[in-house]
Amino acid sequence: MSRYRGPYFKKIRRLGALPGLTQKSLRDESNLRKQLGSGKKSQYHIRLEEKQKLRFHYGLTERQLLKYVRIAKKAKGPTGPILLQLLEMRLDNIIFRLGMARTIPGARQLVNHRHILVNGRIVDIPSYRCKPRDIITAKDEQKSKALIQNSLDSSPHKEFPYHLTLDPVQYKGLVNQIIDSKWVGLKINELLVVEYYSRQT
């Protein structure tokens, strides 16, 4: 299954706010909550919605998300928090959380177009897994810096995640440590996602 390229509002109406997919929001959010909460849902439906929320927020294909679930299951520790850590430490998500891009698709485009350096080297793989002490910077070109400056000016982050540090003057971000699950940028019950995939892994 390919990455979703359809209308974003359609997904927001069904799943609620997805800050990684789009910063746009529906005008009548109270009405949206009523629609989302109306009607009795089966356990499968609830798990499916949580899985879809995770998938569309991070901009993953079904195959990619399943791969992350399998990696999380093999790792030591609780599967749910490890899954969120794996997704949050992706390069495209780190760039988004630093404010260098407005959305995760925007961050993915920056990486694909070779505007981003990790530890002084160009990385053009959005799924690159960042590690503590990694330094993310803009390529030393006017176009790269202008794209990031535009994002920094237009989407200031209210609450900066503690595991990241940003130097906006030098267009430089630092990964301080692995993220704690409580600082994940999406309200989600990751255990329901693990349960959804329990029969497929």
| pLDDT tens by residue, 83-114 | 999 999 999 999 999 999 998 999 999 999 99
* C-alpha to C-alpha distance for 99 and 157, rounded to whole angstroms: 7
* C-alpha to C-alpha distance for 50 and 71, rounded to whole angstroms: 19
Topology annotation, domain 8-86+182-197: Ribosomal Protein S4 Delta 41; Chain A, domain 1 (1.10.1050)
Side chain identity, residue 119: N
Based on C-alpha coordinates, what's the Rg of the chain? 17
Give the CA distances from residue 201 to residues 54, 57, 70, 161, in Å, rounded to whole numbers and listed in that order. 17, 22, 6, 31
Taking 70 as the pLDDT cut, the residues of the chain under it are 1-39, 155-159, 199-201
Topology annotation, domain 90-177: 3.10.290
In the block, tokens 């949050």 appear at 88
Which pLDDT belongs to residue 147?
92
Q: What are the domain boundaries of the chain?
A: 8-86+182-197, 90-177
